[in-house]
Structures are given as C-alpha cells and as structure tokens.
Amino acid sequence: MRYFKIFSYSLIISFYTSSLFAVDLGGLKLNQNINNYLIISEEEKNKDIRIRKFDKNIRIFANNIFNLGYKNRGTYKDFKILSPDYFWDTYYIYEKDNKSNYIVAVKSLNRKVVQSKFKIGECTSLRQQFIKEVMGLNFSEKKKEYKNWISGDMIRYKDRVVYTTTENDISYNHLFSCVHSIYYSKDEHYISTYFAYGINTDHQIVTDMDNYLNVKDLNEFNESLVANFKIWGNYEISDQNYLDTDLYSLKKYRNEALQMHQKND
Amino acid sequence: MANSSENIKNYSITLLCVIASAFIIFLGFYLKTTAANKLIAQKEVLMKVEEKVDRVYNDYKSLIDRQISMQESIEENANNAGVLFNEGSLIFSVRLMESEDMIDPAQADMMVIESISQIKKVNPRIADIVSTFNRKYINSR
C-alpha cells in the first residue's frame, strides 16, 4: 500500500512537472536569447546565408551533425542540443530579435526514390505515433492543413497537423508536417519525403514562409496522391487509410538511428 | 236510409284518408329516393370533376417537371461545355506561356494538372485524351 501511494504521488508529480517543461525541442526552448545556444563566432552568426528571404529580420541556425546516421550534404553545428532525439536528422532554430522564434526538427525519410518504391503511409504513421508521444494527454485545438507549391522543378505537397496548447498563459503551436517533393525526369517520377516537427508561439513566421513560397491550400490530400501522381495529370487519389504503426514503428526508427549513432560515437 | 248514407260518408272519408296517407307515404318515399339519387349523381359528378382536375394537375406537373429537368440538363451541358472550353484554353495558354519562358515548366505542369482534374470531373474520356497529349508534350520538351 505504501509503495502504491509513493508510486501514485510520483506519477502525479511527474505528470505536472512534465507539462510545465513540455514545450521544448531537444531541450531548445522558444523565446530564449539565441546567444545562450549558439556556439559559433559573431562573424559566422551574421553571415548573409543565414538571412531568410521571406523575412530579412529572421536568421536560421542548424545542427545536423549530432546524428551520425544521417548523411549530410553540408555540416552545421551552430548550437548545442541539450537532449537530442536521435530520430531527427537536423534541428533548426529561426532567430528574430536575438530570440529563438521557431524551432524545427527534421527527419528525412527518403531522397529521390523512384515512385514505385515510395512507402505509402510511412510518414503519416510515424507522425501519428510522434504526436501521441508529444501531445500525450494535453488537451489542445487541432487543425489540418494541406498545401501545395512549386520549388524549382519540384512539385511539393505538405500535409500539416497543427496543435495549439496553452501553458502559463502562453499559446504554443506544435506543427507536425509530412512534406513530399515530386521530381520527374526521363519518364520516371522520384519522391523525396521528410517529416518535420516545429514549435512556435507566433504562427506569423509560418504564414510568411508559406506566402513567400506561394503556397496553395488544398481541400484534400493523402499519401496515395504522391504514390499515384503523374506529371501529365489524370491520376487517381484513393480514400483508403494507410496508417500502419507496426510496419512503420517510431521506436524501431529511433532505435536504428540511436544504434547508428552509438556505433559511430 | 239516413244511417246508410252516413256509413257511406264515413267509409268515403276513411278511404280518402287511406288514399291520402298512401299518397303522402308514396310521395315521401319518392322524394327520398329522388334526393338520394340526386346526391349519388352529384357525388359522381364531383368525383369525375376531381379526377379530371387531378389528371390535368398531374399532366401539368409532369410537364413542368420535364421542362425543369430539360432546363437543368441544358444548363449542365452548357456548363460542361464551358468547363471544357475554359480549361482547354487555359492549358493552351499555359503551355504557350511556358514556351515563351514566362512561367517555369513545373508551374505550368501543375496548372495543366489542375485543368485536367477539372476536365475529368466533366468528361473522363476527354481527360484521358488531354492527358495523353500532355504526356507526349512533357516527354518531348
């Protein structure tokens, strides 16, 4: 009985304390002085390459070398990640007025795979599990958004779920996005997919990004569109639900990334 | 003698009364039958009138329904033709703009895909044909 009481108290305490410190990403918190995180020189910090085109007052910083399982195109270690989740490949911090304005973690699920090898349901299944992990029992508003835009010679689709929670009178947006890029070359379609999780307190930054990219809202979307997409049109979209949390288990993906990290550490 | 004539008088009065009563009964019976017949006849007339009115109403209603459905069908056909024409011209304009480097190929492709989706809703066979031409164009550029 005594142990049961201790267990119950610890459960209650852990529940409340976890909700108090819940809104961070890898230990990175919003609206903090960016200099508390950055480990680069002032010169590096002020490089033009960091300035975002959608808002010249916003700069971006990245870390993509904490996870050695990820094959980087370029390496960035602009800040330390206090408690990294090795599931992610890259963490980004968007800075405005010297404060962390928007924090994003990205996992690349595939890069230019032929359409026939596209794993339908992979991203949405991982996202569903991740949402459960992050949101837990938190009651929040939920909004689904489907977007489409052109980037160079790629056609991109974004399937975003936005949860809004309030903690200590501050409203936090949690954005869980599956982004698919479709590229066509020599009678073959290629797909790249990444899963992103972002947090912010001011959604304006996301709206500005979308406006800059000339993003169009779609009424409906599911991954069958990506699997069946044909650049010449006239393709089918199925209504089927493709979630498969056993085949695409978040735990499995995380373990694989962690093992790869430990091997190379 | 006087007694006998009194009897005849009484019998005559009685007979007259009987005849008068029979006449009244007959008259009553006749009038009743006539009224009932008239009522039946009136009902029949009314039913026939109602039937005729119903028939005329139903004929008129079906005529109106036919006219409405014809109008809807004409409207739908006109709309479909409009969609085909609009989307067809849009595809042509977009490809022209692309060839003049006014828009990117990917952007043009996306706009054409949207147009083909619209055409597919109206006429899937035409969408098939347009899509085949589009594929040929994309692969040849």
CA nearest to A175, candidates A155, A150, A201, A196: A196
Nearest Cα residue to A96 out of A62, A63, A51: A51
Tell me the residues of chain A between 138 and 197 that have a Cβ less than 8 Å away from chain B. Answer: 148, 150, 152-155, 184, 187
Question: Average pLDDT in the A117-131 region?
Answer: 95
- For B132, the enclosing helix (H) or strand (E) is helix B124-140
Chain A residues in contact with B95 (beta carbon < 8 A): none
Give the residue on B whose Cα is nearest the Cα of A154: B106
Residue A77 vs residues A41, A65, B100: alpha-carbon distances, Å: 12, 6, 44
CB-based contact A155 B120, cutoff 8 Å:
no
Q: Which residues pair with A49 in a beta bridge?
A: none
Which residue among A153, A154, A232 sits closest to B134, beta carbon to beta carbon? A232
User: Which positions in chain B have a beta carbon within 8 angstroms of at least one beta carbon in chain A?
Assistant: 104-107, 109-110, 112-113, 115-117, 120, 127-128, 130-132, 134-135, 138-139
Cβ contact (<8 Å) for A232 and B105?
no
Is the pLDDT at B116 greater than 80, yes or no? yes
Give the pLDDT confidence of B72-86 residue by residue, as tens digits.
999 999 999 999 999
Residue at token pair 């490949």: A89
CA distance linking residue A126 with residue A142, whole number of Å: 18
Instruction: Give the residue, B66 or B1, on which the prediction is more confident.
Output: B66
For A83-125, give the DSSP string: S--TT-SEEEEEEETTEEEEEEEEEEEEEEEEGGG--TTHHHH
CA dihedral B7, B11, B17, B22 (to 10 degrees): 170
Give the mean model confidence (pLDDT) for residues B44-70. 93
**Contact call for B105 and A231, based on CB within 8 A:** no
Which distant-in-sequence residues (6+ apart) come within 8 Å of A63 by Cβ?
Answer: A76, A77, A78, A79, A80, A81, A90, A91
Helix, coil or strand: residue A175: strand
Residue partners of A141: CB distance under 8 A and separation at least 6: A163, A164
Percent of chain A with pLDDT over 70: 88
Q: Which residues of B33-64 are buried (b: 16+ CB within 10 A; e: fewer)?
A: eeeeeeeeeeeeeeeeeeeeeeeeeeeeeeee
- What are the Cα distances from residue A136, in Å, to A11, A132, A139, A196? 14, 5, 9, 18
Our measurement of the distance from residue A86's CA atom to the centroid of its chain's CA atoms, rounded to an integer in Å, reads 13
- Judge contact between A135 and A63, C-beta under 8 A: no
Burial class of residue A68, CB neighbours in 10 A (0-12, 13-18, 19+) = middle
Using 50, 70 and 90 to split pLDDT, how confident is the model at A75? confident
Question: CB contact, 8 Å: A231 with chain B?
Answer: yes
**pLDDT at residue A261, rounded to an integer:** 73
Q: Which two tokens stand for residue A122?
A: 């992979």
pLDDT by residue (tens digit) across A23-36?
A: 789 999 999 999 99
Contact yes or no for B131 and A232 at CB 8 A: yes
Q: What is the mean pLDDT of residues A55-83?
A: 82
How close A58 comes to chain B (CA, Å)? 27
Neighbours of A63 (CB within 10 A): 24
Among chain A residues, CA nearest to B128: A234
Residue B58 token pair:
């139903």
- The whole-number pLDDT of residue A260 equals 77
Of A150, A154, A231, the CB nearest to B138: A231
Q: Which of A150, A153, A233 sits opposite B117 (nearest CB)?
A: A233
Other C-beta atoms closer than 10 Å to the C-beta of A72 total: 12
**Bridge partners, A216 (sequence order):** A148
Residue A6: partners with Cβ closer than 8 Å, 6 or more residues away: none
Residue A18 banded pLDDT, cuts 50, 70, 90: very low
Integer Cα distance of B133 and B115 in angstroms: 13
Strand partners, A171: A166
Residues 6+ apart with CB under 8 A from A222: A124, A159, A237, A238, A239, A240, A242
User: Does the beta carbon of A65 lie under 8 angstroms from any beta carbon of chain B?
Assistant: no
Nearest CB neighbour to B131, from listed A150, A154, A234: A234
Find chain A residues with C-beta within 8 A of B129's C-beta: none
How far is residue A265 from each of residues A51, A65, A83, B78, B116, measured CA to CA in Å? 32, 11, 16, 69, 52
Give one DSSP letter per residue of B29-96, joined into a string: HHHHHHHHHHHHHHHHHHHHHHHHHHHHHHHHHHHHHHHHHHHHHHHHHHHHHHHHHHHHHHHHHHHH
Give the tens place of pLDDT for each residue, A138-178.
778 899 999 999 998 899 999 999 999 988 889 999 999 99
What integer pLDDT is reported at residue B75 of this predicted model?
93
Q: How far apart are CA A204 and CA A211, in angstroms?
A: 10
The residue extents of the domains of chain B are: 2-140
